[in-house]
Structure 1
Amino acid sequence: MQHAQSRLEFIPQRFNPVVLRLAQWLLPILLRFRLRPWLPAGISRIQVKNAEILAELYQQFQAGKVRFLMAFRHPEVDDPLCMLYLLSRAVPRVARQQGILLQYPIHSHFIYERGMLLWAGDWLGWFFSNLGGTPIRRGKRLDKLGIQNARNLFANAKMPIAVAPEGATNGHSGIVSPLEPGVAQFGFWCVEDLQKANRSEEVLIVPIALQYSYVKPPWAKLDWLLSKLEADCGLPVKTIGRSETANPEEIHYPRLLRLAEHLLTEMEGFYQRFYHQHLAAIDHELEARGNANEILMARLHRLQDTALKVAEQYFKLQPQGNFIDRCRRLEEAGWSYIYREDVSDINALPPFQRGLADWVAAEAELRMRHMRLVETFIAVTGTYVKEKPTPERFAETALLIFDMIARTRNNTKLPGRPRLGWRQALITVGQPISVTERWAKSQSDRRAVRVGVTELTKELHQALEQLIKT
């Protein structure tokens, strides 16, 4: 973004059944090709567990007995398509099999992050709006309009609502990122709104896990991707002989470690030399243990902290909270420099003032790129691949490295990831969590409410973690 823009306008939801039917009709094509017909390596199969839970909940919802929110895992950008499959295919099929009578369409409103439209285009805003989506600015301290609309939909809409409580993709099917407290807070607000209206529906949160795996282990494509990354980094490209193909995980793991070590060293030097950052020494006890994975993670966390400080210093922000909190604050600070709420019509500015506004916007965008690098590795751990060296975990980690390198090379738009092979998705619906019960226990004072929201968020996190382990 090299030019200042007008403020980000709120896009109200305008659910249109015709658009929903079109999306449902196109779903098989979107799953397999994702709008890239020259790369047929999308999702070929989706398995759903416990869809009957949602079928029964929809029946109770339509009977006016419950209100519920679907809190789904968000590892990949394909998750919304899988959720559409769950509601438009799996739930109706199970309902028919079990004789559960439902009113159609079986669909949901959903909350999406307003920033998605910045890289996807305005057409996506129209599409989401007509599918029943409502936007929220995740980094904004108080997005009153977004919160009010989502809160009203949860309590009063003719369909339930769906939210990704992690707030963003983390690229890991086997790791649940820290959850943002908004889902639990929306649940408490919904109970309050129903109580004020003298309504007796029970409020529930339904955890839903999404995981992806390859139909066939893509070791050959992984070798190609790792070779590309090695070449991009200026490292010698590893050549695998025929005798080494029997145990590819033993060959590829050292390559991942070498790439990680090289990139960390390069980025540490980059921030020390050009941004004059001092890197704190690694803990002596950690170095004495000599565990390469632990040392790499300590260096990664130090580097993430340094990158965020570079951006925070520019925007005059104090480091507060975890890495995710800091990323959100930086995102909002950057947007305030690019999407100018203090200017009614950016195109009406005199040329000199417009030039200064563009200058500020370009600088803000550049500073936000430090934050984007941190976001890329927000869920990375030192043991994710080692503890379970599956082709999926190798691929997830290699693709994150691809994203990181691509961000440094491309100043305009992140290039599409390489397709490594056909994938299959597993959707697991968990047991609903009663918000109404927990709300009743937290009404003594405001502190009790905050504690209640925190505990509910932890319980939801544990439920999602349990679902991806089963």
Structure 2
Amino acid sequence: MPRSIQSTQPPLKFIPQRLNLLVLQIVRWLLPIALRFRTRPWLPAGIVKIEAKNVEVLAELYQQFQAGKIRFLLAFRHPEVEDPLCMLYLLSRIVPQVARQKGITLQSLVHSYFLYDRGMTVWAGKWLGWLFSLLGGVPVRRGRRLDRQAIQNARELFANGELPIAVAPEGGTNGHSGIVSPLEPGVAQMGFWCVEDLQKANRSETVIVVPIAIQYHYVEPPWSKLDWLLSKLEADSGLKISEIDSGNSEEIYYQRLSRLAEYLITEMEEFYRRFYHQDIPKTISTDESTSANQVLIARLHRLLDKALQVVEQYFGVQGQGNFIDRCRRLEEAGWSYIYRDDLPDINALAPFKRGLADWIAEEADLRMRHMRIVESFVAVTANYIQEQPTAERFAETVLLVFDMLSRIQNTTLPGRPRLGLRQAEITVGEPISVTERFTNSQGDRQASKQAVSDLTKDLQNALEKMIR
């Protein structure tokens, strides 16, 4: 999260992709260090091992791509911020190695163009946009109904670029290795556009989408670090010392986490009742079959809805769609107040008008913080930990709570505490032919929309099966 914005900002300009092979090679050399020490050079608690399954499928696809037989898109899961580093490791090291082992000849660079959220350069800094540009990245404004410049660039690269293209169809991280968020239709639409572009150019390449799953596991279950982090969160929230017996069993951690979650939800409900005048009943309708955990999740979702309503009312945005859809629209609405496309030269404004612009930018930034809190919890479900009470799932959930408290307590979001060394597991799924589905997408607008929906659904199912 960036520092608090207190003044209007220049427009967020499009950053053109300009792949630089020298910069790419340097990043590849530094990749193991970046994976191990990302964001905290003094703390060796990153990713120490990456394993991949079914990689020969990807190696063969690159061989066919380089022979001019196919065009393909890598649709990868995006649970954590480390995912792009893991994808780069997969392409730069694992795929060439497997290709050599299997006797698959690759004639040129194994890499990909990729789409990334333009907002990353807002909180990380301009240097990230410069680096991503040189690595083949194309920035996308996620909340825009139609980011024409990004779409045109991505469409051109998919059909005519020297490399495949990689996209995270979830649109953002959800913090859960074991849950796939609802996919956005962009990947499917790009696939059909690519087939259309190839046919118009009388080209015969087959267009393929490749699902890729990424999951993370701790080398050693970090129960002691989890105990420390839970204790810190309990103290930071003002929760009284727990009377739960000490110990390391999963049930004790679950009780502590549930107790902390209920306390925080109760506090936040009162916060929105009192200061934002939201109608939040102190009870929730249930029946005899409803568990305490289900009640808690229902209260959480009601709270997230109210938090988004606060922002939607301010920006005059209609609350349509799921939480993710609403967050995307609010992000774009907030940016339109801060990064003023209608003010190309903010330094030329009269002091009075500049003061008004700064005022509205600061207030927009404050309102967007409600949305950022909601973003952290869009994938939280009632049974995620109960289904598999592993250290990984406890850690993912506790770290989301840490993010929330950090956003409320600080104007900057500190780096997450490292709970232990981790390893990544990447699974390459079975390729999905878009070309075979293209005929069904022709005709009226409804047929096209249905074809995109069906492909998106099949991709979602493929990703979900690979992480079970």
TM-score bin (small chain): over 0.9
Give the RMSD, CA atoms, in angstroms: 1.2
Aligned counterpart, 1:435: 434
Instruction: Give the aligned residue type for 1:168.
Output: G
Deviation at 1:349, TM superposition (A): 1.1
- The 3 A distance-change label for structure 1 pair 391 and 125 is same
Instruction: Give the aligned residue type for 1:424.
Output: Q
Aligned counterpart, 1:331: 331
What is the rounded CA distance, in whole Å, between the counterparts of 1:86 and 1:344 in structure 2? 41
Instruction: Give the aligned residue type for 2:132.
Output: F
Deviation at 1:444, TM superposition (A): 2.3
- The 3 A distance-change label for structure 1 pair 355 and 294 is same
TM-score of the superposition, structure 2-length normalised? 0.97
Aligned counterpart, 1:23: 27
Aligned counterpart, 1:262: 263
- For residues 312-351 of structure 1, the aligned pairs below 5 Å read 312-351=312-351
What is the rounded CA distance, in whole Å, between the counterparts of 1:438 and 1:298 in structure 2? 39
Deviation at 1:221, TM superposition (A): 0.2
Specify which of 24, 45, 49 is matched with residue 53 of structure 2. Answer: 49
- For residues 44-443 of structure 1, the aligned pairs below 5 Å read 44-238=48-242, 245=247, 247-279=248-280, 284=285, 286-411=286-411, 413-443=412-442
Quick check: 2:284–2:299 contact (8 Å CA) kept in 1? no
What is the rounded CA distance, in whole Å, between the counterparts of 1:171 and 1:341 in structure 2? 32
Quick check: 1:287–1:295 contact (8 Å CA) kept in 2? no
Aligned counterpart, 1:450: 449
Matched, 1:11 2:10: no
What is the rounded CA distance, in whole Å, between the counterparts of 1:262 and 1:296 in structure 2? 10
Instruction: Please state whether the residue corresponding to 2:109 is helix, strand or coil.
Output: coil
1:154-174 per-residue CA deviation (whole Å, 9 max, x = no partner) reads 110000000000001000000
Deviation at 1:418, TM superposition (A): 0.3
What is the rounded CA distance, in whole Å, between the counterparts of 1:418 and 1:87 in structure 2? 28
What is the rounded CA distance, in whole Å, between the counterparts of 1:261 and 1:169 in structure 2? 24
Quick check: 1:219–1:248 contact (8 Å CA) kept in 2? no
What is the rounded CA distance, in whole Å, between the counterparts of 1:178 and 1:468 in structure 2? 15
Paired-residue identity, %? 69
Instruction: Give the aligned residue type for 1:347.
Output: N
Quick check: 1:33–1:40 contact (8 Å CA) kept in 2? yes
Instruction: Give the aligned residue type for 1:313.
Output: Q
What is the rounded CA distance, in whole Å, between the counterparts of 2:132 and 2:260 in structure 1? 38
Deviation at 1:279, TM superposition (A): 1.8
1:210-263 per-residue CA deviation (whole Å, 9 max, x = no partner) reads 00010001000000000000001111344887xx54x52121000000011001
What is the rounded CA distance, in whole Å, between the counterparts of 1:298 and 1:146 in structure 2? 37
What is the rounded CA distance, in whole Å, between the counterparts of 1:270 and 1:298 in structure 2? 18
Deviation at 1:281, TM superposition (A): 7.1
1:192-226 per-residue CA deviation (whole Å, 9 max, x = no partner) reads 10111111111000000000010001000000000
1:261-312 per-residue CA deviation (whole Å, 9 max, x = no partner) reads 001100100000000010257653x254351111011101111110000000
1:373-398 per-residue CA deviation (whole Å, 9 max, x = no partner) reads 11000000011011110000000000
Quick check: 1:72–1:210 contact (8 Å CA) kept in 2? yes
What is the rounded CA distance, in whole Å, between the counterparts of 1:89 and 1:328 in structure 2? 34
1:295-351 per-residue CA deviation (whole Å, 9 max, x = no partner) reads 011101111110000000000111111111111110000000000000111122122
What is the rounded CA distance, in whole Å, between the counterparts of 1:444 and 1:91 in structure 2? 39
Instruction: Please state whether the residue corresponding to 1:362 is helix, strand or coil.
Output: helix
1:334-370 per-residue CA deviation (whole Å, 9 max, x = no partner) reads 0000000001111221221111111000100111111
Quick check: 1:14–1:129 contact (8 Å CA) kept in 2? yes
1:85-119 per-residue CA deviation (whole Å, 9 max, x = no partner) reads 00000000000011111123210000001000001
Quick check: 1:15–1:131 contact (8 Å CA) kept in 2? yes
Unaligned runs of 5+ in 2: none
TM-score of the superposition, structure 1-length normalised? 0.97
Quick check: 2:55–2:428 contact (8 Å CA) kept in 1? yes
What is the rounded CA distance, in whole Å, between the counterparts of 1:287 and 1:261 in structure 2? 19
